[in-house]
Structure 1
Amino acid sequence: MSEQQRRAAGRERSDHGFDPAERLQDREARGLHRDIAPVERVAARSRMAPDPKAEPPTFEGEELSIFAANNYLGLADHERVQAAAAEAAREVGTGAGASRLVTGDTPPHRALERELAETKHTERALAFSSGYAANVGTIAALAPDVVFSDELNHASIIDGCRQAGAETVVYDHCDPEDLRAQMEARAAAPVGDESWLVLTDSVFSMDGDVAPLTAICDVVEEFGAWLMVDEAHATGLYDDGGGIVQREGLSDRVHVQMGTLSKALASQGGYVAGSDPLIEHLLNAARSFVFSTGLAPPAAAAAREALRVARESGRRDQLWATVDRLRDGLEDMGYDVWGETQILPVVVGDRSDAVALDDRLRDHGIVAPAIRPPTVPEGTSRIRVAPMATHTDEDIDRCLDAFRAAGEDLGLL
């Protein structure tokens, strides 16, 4: 039998391949298919293009006001941040070239980590190639026996728990009393000498609310566990460029502080801040650090300069003024706006209403995404409004006018 005949016979016997087209059809049928819409530049205003698939994007029409990015301080196009990245590229190189344990550890990495540790009031910090890698690698490297995780924690925390192979106990969202009850139940039926890790975001990315960290610290200390806090949506926005941990004065009570460099710090990457032994352990045991090329030096330099701008300038005050004006304006119209941070979830309930509102806002020149199940629970579909410090009064007026007109057109107001 020829090779061609053997292959044909094998195909007749079974099919062990994949059918991406069928999976896409299923996703489309469930209303979960998404496109990638290219943006011309990362700023408060930009043109966008329809998803060109494999072709180059074509940017046409007027600029849109972008209320969909996590570039909260508007630093992605800041001249100091761009200059720092360019200088690092010239002096060090455009890429790290290897794992940092080999030859990929450069002066921009070390300078960034020193300033992160200073900002987070810790002994040391460690930069990862992404926030996702920081969460997954850290949780797995700590290898807890049991994790207690807020029910609305980010997907990277959930995946970190899976990588760690830990028994995961989910507690009610932002509820330290339920956390205590779960820990009491576990303590009542001990299984040897277990290590416990409590995991929570500080600012939750879809609801815009804040974890009650002081009360959570009290519970964690009562049971002698460790606490890890994800400050992805808080880093750079609070006291001296810190996060909620710093705002609440809890730096010495949180064992592991994690965050990203890709949101308010307008770069790429993630970090973990904590004690010297913790960082030394992670750089040896976190697989997403050990077996990954180091963060690009220009990204490290850009993040460091963005942190400096966040600490020195009035960008944070500008952001909070914009947030207050948008929240007040939306609530005065009659919209239900959740949260207490720079993330403004405008909750409309029905998924079709949220998608229609997204489309109408786009018609009025506003980009603010509809968030619907399974990302959020049924009945809580919403528009997630994320303002930047660089939005002008004209941008804010344009946004509020768009919400008013779209809401009236759709019968939501």
Structure 2
Amino acid sequence: MTERGFDLADRVAARHDTDLYRDIAPVDRVAERSYFAPDPGRDLPVLDGEEHLVFAANNYLGLTQHDRVQEAAAQAADVVGTGAGASRLVTGDTLVHRDLELRLAEVKGTDRALAFSSGYAANVGTIAALDPDVVFSDEFNHASIVDGCRLSGADVVVYDHRDAGDLRRRMAARAESSEHTASGGPPSSTDGGEDESWLVVTDSVFSMDGTVAPLEALCDAVESFGAWLMVDEAHATGLHVDGGGIVQREGLEERVHVQMGTLSKALASQGGYVAGSESLIEHLVNEARSFVFSTGLAPPAAAAASEALHLARHGECRDRLWSNVGQLRNGLESVGYEVWGDTQVLPIVVGDRLDALALERAVRERGIVAPAIRPPTVPEGTSRIRIAPMATHSRSDVEHCIEAFRAAGEEVGLL
């Protein structure tokens, strides 16, 4: 009989052969220091005896262990329930969802906000629901943006990374081809009418590089062609002005049509959100399939994110994070590393994937968890260690990390 199934064992073996295999390592808690266990497969994990400092998580403000965040989640579970129980269009819309969305809209400077079950669902559902004719997408955008573009059925034009000039050129070329067709020229696969809807999508902080999109220049380009701009603030929400993101830091609330972000990073919870105009949110409530056909965000997650956002706005955690970022960057550069980016994400670019894996192992032996990031997540030849401090790391924790990287770099021949 003809075999039409899938040889998955061979696919996994191929990943092993090319040093691209990944596994998952259980931890005892989500915090700045944790006990880890090797991937047990189907068995229960057995934790190692040594605690490690975690410089790898997106828990940037360290709020997953904050008493007030945990109390908010516990109270919501007690009063509202552990799960939403249904789509929010049925019976899963609760007061804690509305409280979270009100706070998000205040921070983002928009009419309303809408919480999704994940950041991935927010991106995929929003892009598809907007149903654009053309999407202009930064070449390094997150996979959820890429998949949203695919599901939307739009013509996708990829512009050079963080290059507003290249975006302008590509938009001008599309407009020129549309005008040519309208004047009677022969159509092509890239032609459209003057009534096309255009969406430009970018991350604000690129999580593997630690770099920031040139949002003001992108706004200028978008406005020149009458398009819409959507900004993914997943790695920026909670970290800037009044607990906002890069859009707030640069005062661009009135110029960005769609602000998206997650609750699962600095806000220490789970889920995603979209913030924008009243009509945008009403449209997504009715048309975003990942919202309509998903059970609502669990009430404890919504309450935890709401309290974390309050702490990000009014507490000292943001200041502590940026102090740790500065100390860590200066220390790593002083021992001889080149550190990319200008955010809380501090990539040490090694280049060769085997060197990156060796450095990861060497720092782990010294009590530091920081992952090697390899292709296809990043381009070939740019393998790196992605370092991300938390607000809850002490100054001595940061010094320990710097010393571990110094000794590990010397051991593996990178310094």
| 2:373 maps to 1:385 | no
User: Which residue does the alignment assign to 2:133?
Assistant: 145
State the 1:398 CA deviation: 1.0
Q: What SS class does the counterpart of residue 337 from structure 1 fall into?
A: coil
Aligned equivalent of 1:131: 119
Partners of 1:17 and 1:187 lie apart in 2 by: 45
Alpha-carbon offset, residue 33 of structure 1 = 1.2
Partner of 1:26: 14
Structure 2 CA distance, aligned partners of 1:152 and 1:23? 26
Which segments of 5 or more consecutive residues in structure 2 lack a partner in the other structure?
A: 179-191
Structure 2 equivalent of residue 4 of structure 1:
none
Question: In the alignment, which residue of structure 2 is the partner of 1:117?
Answer: 105
Matches of residues 249-264 of structure 1 in structure 2 within 5 Å?
249-264=251-266
Identity %: 72
In 1, are the aligned partners of 2:20 and 2:374 still within 8 Å (CA)? no
Is 1:102 the counterpart of 2:90 in the alignment? yes
CA deviation vs aligned residue, 1:86-112 (integer Å, no higher than 9, x gap): 000000000000000000000010000
Q: Give the RMSD, CA atoms, in angstroms.
A: 0.7
User: Aligned residue for 2:267?
Assistant: 265
Show the counterpart of 2:188. Answer: none
Q: Distance in 1 between matches of 2:148 and 2:392?
A: 34
How far apart, CA to CA, are the structure 2 residues paired with 1:198 and 1:150?
A: 8
Supply the distance in 2 between the matched residues of 1:367 and 1:381 (Cα, whole angstroms): 16
1:394 positional shift = 1.8
Counterpart in 2 of 1:84? 72
Quote the residue 2:375 is aligned against: 373
Q: After superposition, what is the alpha-carbon deviation per residue over 1:211-260, rounded to whole angstroms, capped at 9, x for unaligned?
A: 01001000000000000000000000000000000000000100000000
1:42 aligned to 2:30? yes
Contact conserved, 2:137 with 2:200, CA < 8 A, in 1? yes
1:42 Cα offset (Å): 0.4
Q: Distance in 2 between matches of 1:29 and 1:59?
A: 28
Rounded to whole Å, the distance in 1 between the matches of 2:354 and 2:46 is 29
Is residue 233 of structure 2 the alignment partner of residue 245 of structure 1? Answer: no
Aligned to 1:322: 324
Determine which of 263, 280, 283 is the counterpart of 2:282: 280
In structure 1, C-alpha distance between the alignment counterparts of 2:125 and 2:362, rounded to whole Å: 41
Cα drift, residue 349 of structure 1: 1.1
Taking the aligned partners of 2:403 and 2:132, their CA distance within structure 1 comes to: 50
Give the TM-score normalised by structure 2. 0.96
Alignment partners' CA distance in 1, 2:364 and 2:104: 38
Structure 2 distance, partners of 1:120, 1:59, is 41
State the 4+ residue runs in structure 1 displaced beyond 3 angstroms: none
Distance in 2 (alpha carbons) for counterparts of 1:16 and 1:169: 35
Task: State the distance in 1 between where 2:349 and 2:18 align.
Answer: 21
Q: What amino acid maps onto 2:282 in structure 1?
A: E
- Give 1:362's aligned residue: 364
In the alignment, which of 177, 185, 190 is matched to residue 165 of structure 2?
Answer: 177
Aligned to 2:397: 395
- State the Cα distance separating 1:373 from its structure 2 match: 1.1
Which stretches in structure 1 are left out of the alignment for 5+ residues? Answer: 1-11
Q: Aligned to 1:222, which of 213, 221, 224?
A: 224
**Could you say what secondary structure the match of 2:219 adopts?**
helix
* One-letter amino acid of the counterpart of residue 134, structure 1: A
Secondary structure of 1:336 counterpart: coil
